[in-house]
Structure 1
Amino acid sequence: MAKTYVVLDLETTGLDYKSEQITEIGAIKIDEGFNEIDRFHTMVALEEGRELPEFITKLTGITAKDLEGAPTETEALEKLNEFIGNSIVVAQNAPFDLSFISRGGIEPERFYCTRAMARFVEPELSASLKDVANRNGITIEGHHRALNDVEATIEVFKRYLPHVREEYNEFENIVQDSADRPLKFKPKNAIVRTVHMVALDNADLIRLVRAFPEDHDMFTKLGSIIGRTMKGRD
């Protein structure tokens, strides 16, 4: 049977899945050629007595009025579960999104985290969706709205998947834990990749960069790091 992927993104009232809630769900189902099969979108009604934080409205543009009359979180997650079916789930920050959908009993057997993919391929660069999109020429129309972010995540997935396919388990279910970004939720079936940060001074970096030919990607990347650190001392 051919693989299908459901690339999803959530907007929420905050970061903690135990105390916050979902406000918007966007998901697009694609085939192995990254062609769209179907899409799912819903706003989610606020729980009784809950207010939408002002900073969330500023970040996403979503207002409390936008959520009036929308399905409850339980109803929305039931519909999302039906939409996912047997597909492999893909999310930019899988531990975050999977933490919230686990509230509806959704625990994908197979998933990809595009943030972990980007950090693996380019460990010295930012793995935020905005930064990854910018350096790959991917346009995000209306960042921090679910379907817009999903469309960008599909492009990130398309670009980075070939770089990680030869890794353990084809990089499926890989999530990253590091001192600078501790893993706050371990999804069911997750394989945790712990990243240990090592501090290098410029002399170390220069010796390292000289180990690569000038036409190698790492020569350019390490050279840019040295340039940034030297500039920071001016």
Structure 2
Amino acid sequence: MNERHRFWQRALRLLSLGVPREASSALLGSDHSLQQERWLRSLQRENSHSIDWHDRLPDIPFVIMDMETTGFSPQQGDEILAMAAAKTVNGLVTGTYMTLVKPEKPIPEHISDLTGITAKDVMFAPPLAEALRTFVPFIATGVLVGYHIGHDVSFLRHVLWHHYRQRWSGRFIDMQPIVGLVHHPCPTLDDALACYGIDCPRRHTADGDVEAMVKLWAILLGELHELGIETLHDLYAALSRH
């Protein structure tokens, strides 16, 4: 592992823990002592407990996330083309993120037809390893939410391990079973948006899908409240019985 790779590995670790950029710069000097490593482990434990199971859902920061990819299997070489996310509290957006990603291989024609992303669009986009340095700190501040989010999390876990030997262990929640809990089963995001009358004019774009899911999530929070599901613990318990 060369020195540049070690630097970015440490930087990603700090930023993913929510350490401000200024503090990260100070910590990423030439002296990487055992004391600093212990401090990092301590901060990791503190960060993992920052969201309590009994926190009220309206008080918890949820990060709505979506990726556009060239397929379904990062292990088989499928790549990320776009990443978007929106930080929310009680259904209100407090920050957004969007980036295209330059893939290592040509974009399949059927993926360009679906997403609208062409080779020209990503010509000057950052490569994935670079994009992760800003994307991971953004999404690490809350519980991830998405429709069939397991797809996005599988890519996230794979690329973090591949590029930085870092594991993603943050909490995440799939909207699809929540829709089934409060309304009726909607197998796809298109089904759910149609059920709730939410328009998504830029479907199959990362930021367009996030924008639509933000609206859906705000509605779901209200419906969960009406069912007496008030905390993260209540939500997981209800889903386990459903």
Quickly name the TM-score band, shorter chain normalised: 0.5 to 0.7
Query: Does residue 115 of the first structure (1) align with residue 176 of the second (2)?
Result: yes
**How far apart are the structure 1 equivalents of 2:79 and 2:238?**
25
The answer (yes or no) to whether the contact 2:92–2:218 under 8 Å persists in 1 is no
RMSD: 2.6
**How far apart are the structure 2 equivalents of 1:149 and 1:69?**
23
> Among residues 14, 23, 26, which one is paired with 2:71 in the alignment?
14
Query: Does residue 65 of the first structure (1) align with residue 120 of the second (2)?
Result: yes
**How far apart are the structure 2 equivalents of 1:82 and 1:17?**
21
2:82: which partner in 1? 24
Deviation of 1:80 (Å): 1.1
**How far apart are the structure 2 equivalents of 1:10 and 1:90?**
12
Give the secondary structure class of the aligned counterpart of 1:89: strand
Q: Which runs of 4+ in 1 moved over 4 A?
A: 172-175
> Among residues 203, 207, 210, which one is paired with 1:150 in the alignment?
210
Taking every aligned residue pair, what percent have the same amino acid on both sides? 28
Deviation of 1:167 (Å): 8.9
Structure 2 residues without counterparts, runs of 5 or longer: 1-49, 51-58, 161-165
Query: Does residue 42 of the first structure (1) align with residue 99 of the second (2)?
Result: yes
Q: Structure with the greater relative contact order (CA < 8 A, sep ≥ 6): 1 or 2?
A: 2
Structure 1 residues without counterparts, runs of 5 or longer: 176-192, 196-234
- The structure in which a higher percent of residues are helix is 2
Q: How many pairs align? A: 174
Q: TM-score, normalised by structure 2?
A: 0.64
**How far apart are the structure 2 equivalents of 1:173 and 1:80?**
30
The answer (yes or no) to whether the contact 2:140–2:170 under 8 Å persists in 1 is no
1:96 partner letter: H
Give the secondary structure class of the aligned counterpart of 1:86: coil
The answer (yes or no) to whether the contact 1:118–1:127 under 8 Å persists in 2 is no
1:99: which partner in 2? 154
Q: TM-score, normalised by structure 1?
A: 0.66
2:63 partner letter: V
